[in-house]
Amino acid sequence: MSAAAALPEPAPPKANYLNISYGVKSWLLTTDHKRIALLYMGSITVMFALGGIFAALIRLELVTPPGDMVQAETYNKLFTLHGVIMVFFFLIPSIPATLGNFLIPLMIGARDLAFPKLNLASWYLFMAGAGFAAYSLVRGGVDTGWTFYTPYSTAFSNTHVISAAMGAFIAGFSSILTGLNFIVTIHKMRAPGLTWMRLPLFVWSHYATSIIMVLGTPVIAVTLMLVMVERGLKLGIFNPALGGDPVLFQHLFWFYSHPAVYIMILPSMGVISELVSAMARKRVFGYGIVAMSSLAIAVIGFLVWGHHMFVSGQSVYAGMVFSALSFLVAIPSAIKVFNWTATLYKGSVSYDTPTLYAIGFIGLFTIGGLTGIFLAATGLDVHVHDTYFIVAHFHYIMVGGAIMGYLGGLHFWWPKITGRLYPEAWGRVAALIVFAGFNLTFFPQFILGYMGMPRRYHAYPEEFQVLNVMSSAGASILGLGYILPFAYLGWSMRYGRAASANPWGAKGLEWQAASPPLTENFETQPVVREEAYEYAHAPQERAIV
Amino acid sequence: MSDPISERHESHIVSPLLYLLVFGSLMVLTVITVAASRYDFGAWNTVVAMAIAVLKATLVVLFFMHVRWSSRLVRLMVAAAFAWLALLIGGALSDYDTRGRVNPPVEKRSPTGALLEDR
Amino acid sequence: MSEAVAHHAEADRHPALAHHFEGLPEQKEAAGLGMWLFLAQEVMFFGGLFACYTIYRNLYPGAFAAGSAHLNWKLGAFNTAVLIGSSLTMAMAVHAAAVGKRRQIVAYLLMTVVLGSVFLGVKVVEYADKFHHHLVPGAHFRFEGPLARPVEIYYSLYFAMTGLHALHMVIGIPILLTLAVLAHRGHYSASYYAPVEMTGLYWHFVDIVWIFLFPLLYLIPTHAPH
């Protein structure tokens, strides 16, 4: 059902959360979850552009085998800043802080999150963290890798480690408070009749994500605190020359940073569940299992961190256990992929922009996930550890997965957020460019890594050049694919056609609210009397055995 | 997920006498903590000290923090927090405690498959 | 699918009731869950330090015993008693609020502040002593013998753990004072005292952390064979 079908022109704009008040103060002191979502959207877009610039510089350097564009030390700063910015200041907040903040109260029929002022505080904490990261950047950057491994980061690096670590530390508390807010909201503020098993899967996935945010983030916070103290006071907590253990740092770091990757992908999976259902006009196949799989990913995700440490000196026994558990954690993710596919099967699918991103996600996430299984096998991981195989693996999930989900969700809910329709033709073109550019950038990297090209090196042997050139060419196409939505979505905010409350004809309480919604979301408290995704012609589901 | 107990909790007032009793117990346990540290339990020293600390913490959680009368959800959150802490410490320990102790047998072979040395 | 359900009339809303909650009970439960989640993340925050402690005590049992021997266990025990006492007075403050006894709330909150301040005063004395004996990790650390490096790690953890704990008290005490002022002005009653109760949860958590820190840092047995 195309959003561009002929609809009656909506009435002139009524009061909504955007026009209810004007002025900088009304935005900087807002407690409206929808405005806070937009504040975040602005911030993370800037951070994404910054991280993207570093990616562009990396790919430029890697067009030629010798390190001829920048010195090795500078290159180290490029990939570090790319990683720190993309992980801590883009991916971790992205969907939860923007789409999650905006949609969760709407999806559950509430007027706001449980703690609106805490929500605003979360954004300010994010900005403070970004400020420290920017300070580190401006003063010359940091070169430790986003992983801050000791003792290089604490005793040997001559770059601005403390300010970068402080930035991540503060941003971590933004994340913790957001997760806390979501959990309480989902427990306590659901509309009458909205039982747990009627919740949209987007809400389930954010609930699971929030568990990780609350229980995992504090560990990296205290670890970064120790790194800052060790570096500042020249202590030896993680420095082997002074009796410390660098592997202990890695245990503490990865205890968070592995679950963190599930913070980055679970919300995107929630988006895909919504897109697939709406675009196929069909209940999500196996709703209950998909909901439980989000929780399973969150819990099992905490049990596998040692698979980042197979070559660190960790015990063989621990390695075997972490390997087995890493195979296990793939199962709930695979379940989702099967169920999304089954949802699309025999659905009446419309190939709009959100659908393209969703289908792209399913394919690319599957590739990324399967390569994760390869890496869970200790024997194979030893061979490809710290090569481009790893880089390709996580970019397939983070970019092919998480970012495609973010873009799909952004387009799907754009009419709700802005009250405008984006130009659908441009949307589809950009989605295809993103898909093509992405694969050209990252598929060659699987081959490079398997052939032995190490990561974090600014020079490489001649025989790797062709694949590197392909990757860099892909990166420029991907970059174009990202700039296009920025342009036409921005254009649509001013010139886009006005949207009705439910341009997609989708199920979900958020589509009951106006586009854009009132500040208090609903004029009267909604009451829920049916299951989730009750589309008109659900019987197809029974044809699938 | 509203639990009737949480509704009751609002009107549940704990008697000050119970608080005093708990306080007294905590004081006694503190004395025991110090006394136990002077006695050599051998390999069990740390276990004993931690067991007493856990008992004290349990009293504070159940009575001072009212978890005794709290909803299932609150109890689940408390349990989850300590379970995750145990996971962090246990997980790291399981690495250190098994180093050098469990090594799968490795046969050294030449590229053509001949056995080089026994392990 | 959705039906109109009337909101409560504006007139009978309690002044402390936020606009996005239906009633005070819902708001209080939400506050409680929020505070418990915050405490859960605090468990993991301190937990990272406890993990470091566990690993290093396993690796350097002799150094940890030697470092602990320089701590004054009597001051530690005194502080433990003081902090548990402050937990009692905090619990009594919450009780006073629940039964609507305004003056008692203020009195118990102030007692908690006093006890908390005594605790911090003792910590200042202890830290000053460490400083004089060159046991503060860093440039001026001095310890005789081959165990110097791991002993410095022990003291790094000592200062990190007790310092983080003390920071939580330094944050808590002004909050308690604020509550005392508000209680004095009649802000709390039997029908609304959630901030007092939530602060109580926070304060009890700080007490629990110390309950573990005391034996782990002050009472490491020197006669332990391993």
Q: What is the average pLDDT across A517-540? A: 84
Residues B7 and B27 in one domain: yes
| Minimal Cβ distance to C99: which of B13, B22, B52 | B13
| Inter-chain CB proximity B93 and C54 less than 8 Å | yes
Distance from CA of B64 to the nearest CA of C (A): 6
Distance from CA of B118 to the nearest CA of C (A): 32
Contacts of B27 in chain C (CB under 8 A): 81, 84
Residues B30 and B8 in one domain: yes
The DSSP letter of residue A133 is: H
C196, C101 in Cβ contact below 8 A?
no
Provide the chain A residues 141-200 that lie in CB contact (below 8 A) with chain C: 176, 179-181, 183-184, 187-189, 192
In angstroms, rounded to a whole number, what is the distance separating the alpha carbons of residues A364 and A398?
10
Fill in the amino acid letter for C83. Answer: L
Pairing of strands B108-109, B115-117: antiparallel
At CA A144, angle to CA A142 and CA A147, rounded to 5? 120
| Inter-chain CB proximity C92 and B19 less than 8 Å | yes
Domains of chain C, each with CATH number or no CATH: 24-218 (1.20.120.80)
Q: Is B98 on the interface with A (CB under 8 A)?
A: yes
Contacts of C43 in chain B (CB under 8 A): 81-82, 84-85
* Bridge partner residues of B101 (DSSP): none
pLDDT at residue B7, rounded to an integer:
44
Q: pLDDT tens for residues A70-101? A: 999 999 999 999 999 999 999 999 999 999 99
Rounded CA Rg of chain B: 25
Q: What is the average pLDDT across B78-96? A: 96
Residues B48 and B3 in one domain: yes
Q: Which two tokens stand for residue A280?
A: 């196929």
Alpha-helix residue ranges (DSSP H) falling in chain B? 4-11, 16-38, 45-59, 72-96
Q: Is A407 left (phi over 0), alpha (psi -120 to 50) or beta?
A: alpha
Contacts of B6 in chain C (CB under 8 A): 29
Residues B6 and B53 in one domain: yes
| Inter-chain CB proximity B64 and C51 less than 8 Å | no
Residue B114 lies in a domain: no
Nearest one of A506, A458, A491 to A354, comparing CA atoms: A506
| Inter-chain CB proximity B94 and A305 less than 8 Å | no
Residue A439 has, within 13 A of its CA and on its CB side, a CA count of: 11
| Inter-chain CB proximity C149 and A116 less than 8 Å | no
| Inter-chain CB proximity A303 and B87 less than 8 Å | yes
pLDDT at residue A10, rounded to an integer:
58
Which of A444-453, B2-11, B55-64 bottoms out in mean pLDDT, i.e. has the lowest?
B2-11
Residues B38 and B80 in one domain: no
- Report whether pLDDT(A179) > 50: yes
| Inter-chain CB proximity A317 and B102 less than 8 Å | yes
**Predicted confidence band at B119 (pLDDT cuts at 50, 70, 90)?**
very low
pLDDT at residue A9, rounded to an integer:
60
pLDDT at residue A4, rounded to an integer:
54
Q: Which two tokens stand for residue C39?
A: 């405490």
Chain centroid offset of residue C51 CA: 19
Query: Percentage of chain A surpassing pLDDT 90?
Result: 93
> Phi and psi dihedrals of C78, rounded to 5?
-60, -45
Tens-binned pLDDT, residue by residue, of chain C (226 aa): 443 444 445 567 888 899 999 889 999 999 999 999 999 999 999 999 999 999 999 999 999 999 999 999 999 999 999 999 999 999 999 999 999 999 999 999 999 999 999 999 999 999 999 999 999 999 999 999 999 999 999 999 999 999 999 999 999 999 999 999 999 999 999 999 999 999 999 999 999 999 999 999 999 987 644 4
Distance from CA of A353 to the nearest CA of C (A): 28
| Inter-chain CB proximity A218 and C5 less than 8 Å | no
Contacts of A522 in chain C (CB under 8 A): 2
Residues B57 and B30 in one domain: yes
**Predicted confidence band at B103 (pLDDT cuts at 50, 70, 90)?**
low
In angstroms, rounded to a whole number, what is the distance separating the alpha carbons of residues C223 and C89?
37
Contacts of B45 in chain C (CB under 8 A): 221, 224
- CA torsion through residues C211, C213, C215, C219, sign: negative
Q: CA dist C220 to A3, A185, C180, Å?
A: 70, 44, 39
Residues B63 and B9 in one domain: yes
Contacts of A317 in chain B (CB under 8 A): 94, 98, 101-102
Domain containing B25 equals 1-69
Q: pLDDT tens for residues A266-276? A: 999 999 999 99
Residues B83 and B44 in one domain: no
Residue B110 lies in a domain: no
- Candidates C58, C153, C157, C209, partner chain A, best to mutate (most A CBs within 10 A): C153
| Inter-chain CB proximity C42 and A218 less than 8 Å | yes
Residues B3 and B61 in one domain: yes
Q: What is the average pLDDT across A300-324? A: 96
Average pLDDT of chain A, as a whole number: 94
pLDDT at residue A542, rounded to an integer:
29
Contacts of B101 in chain A (CB under 8 A): 315, 317
- Report whether pLDDT(A538) > 60: no
| Minimal Cβ distance to A187: which of B73, B84, B103 | B73
Residues B94 and B54 in one domain: no
Chains that touch C (3 or more CB pairs under 8 A): A, B
In angstroms, rounded to a whole number, what is the distance separating the alpha carbons of residues A514 and A37?
17
**Predicted confidence band at A7 (pLDDT cuts at 50, 70, 90)?**
low
Q: What is the average pLDDT across B41-54? A: 92
Q: What is the average pLDDT across A180-191? A: 97
**Predicted confidence band at A347 (pLDDT cuts at 50, 70, 90)?**
confident
Q: Is C100 on the interface with B (CB under 8 A)?
A: no
Residue B76 lies in a domain: yes
Contacts of B82 in chain C (CB under 8 A): 43
Q: Is A18 on the interface with C (CB under 8 A)?
A: no
Residue B109 lies in a domain: no
Average pLDDT of chain B, as a whole number: 85
| Inter-chain CB proximity C7 and A189 less than 8 Å | no
pLDDT at residue B111, rounded to an integer:
73
Q: pLDDT tens for residues A354-364? A: 999 999 999 99
Distance from CA of C103 to the nearest CA of B (A): 16
Determine the 3-state secondary structure of C11 from DSSP.
Answer: helix
How many domains does the structure of chain B reveal? 2
Residue B19 lies in a domain: yes
Q: Is A278 on the interface with C (CB under 8 A)?
A: no
**Chains A–B, number of C-beta pairs less than 8 Å apart:** 45
Contacts of C7 in chain A (CB under 8 A): 524-525
Residue B118 lies in a domain: no
| Minimal Cβ distance to A526: which of C2, C6, C139 | C2
Is this complex scored with an ipTM above 0.85? Answer: yes
pLDDT at residue B2, rounded to an integer:
46
pLDDT at residue B95, rounded to an integer:
95
Q: Is B119 on the interface with A (CB under 8 A)?
A: no
What is the reported pTM? 0.93
| Inter-chain CB proximity B64 and C204 less than 8 Å | yes
| Inter-chain CB proximity A317 and B101 less than 8 Å | yes
| Minimal Cβ distance to C26: which of A188, A242, A509 | A188
Query: Residue B105's closest chain A neighbor by CA?
Result: A316
| Inter-chain CB proximity B96 and C214 less than 8 Å | no
A13 or A442: which leads in pLDDT: A442
Q: Is residue A338 within a helix (H) or strand (E), and if so which, with residue range?
A: helix A316-344
pLDDT at residue A544, rounded to an integer:
24
Domains of chain A, each with CATH number or no CATH: 30-542 (1.20.210.10)
| Minimal Cβ distance to C25: which of B10, B88, B89 | B10
Residues B60 and B34 in one domain: yes
**Predicted confidence band at A350 (pLDDT cuts at 50, 70, 90)?**
confident
Provide the chain A residues 521-540 that lie in CB contact (below 8 A) with chain C: 522, 524-530
**Predicted confidence band at A541 (pLDDT cuts at 50, 70, 90)?**
very low
Residues B52 and B2 in one domain: yes
pLDDT at residue A539, rounded to an integer:
39
Residue B119 lies in a domain: no
Query: Residue B102's closest chain A neighbor by CA?
Result: A317
In angstroms, rounded to a whole number, what is the distance separating the alpha carbons of residues A208 and A262?
9
Q: Is C132 on the interface with B (CB under 8 A)?
A: no
| Inter-chain CB proximity C3 and A526 less than 8 Å | yes
Query: Percentage of chain A surpassing pLDDT 70?
Result: 96
Which of A207-216, B48-57, B110-119, C134-143 bottoms out in mean pLDDT, i.e. has the lowest?
B110-119
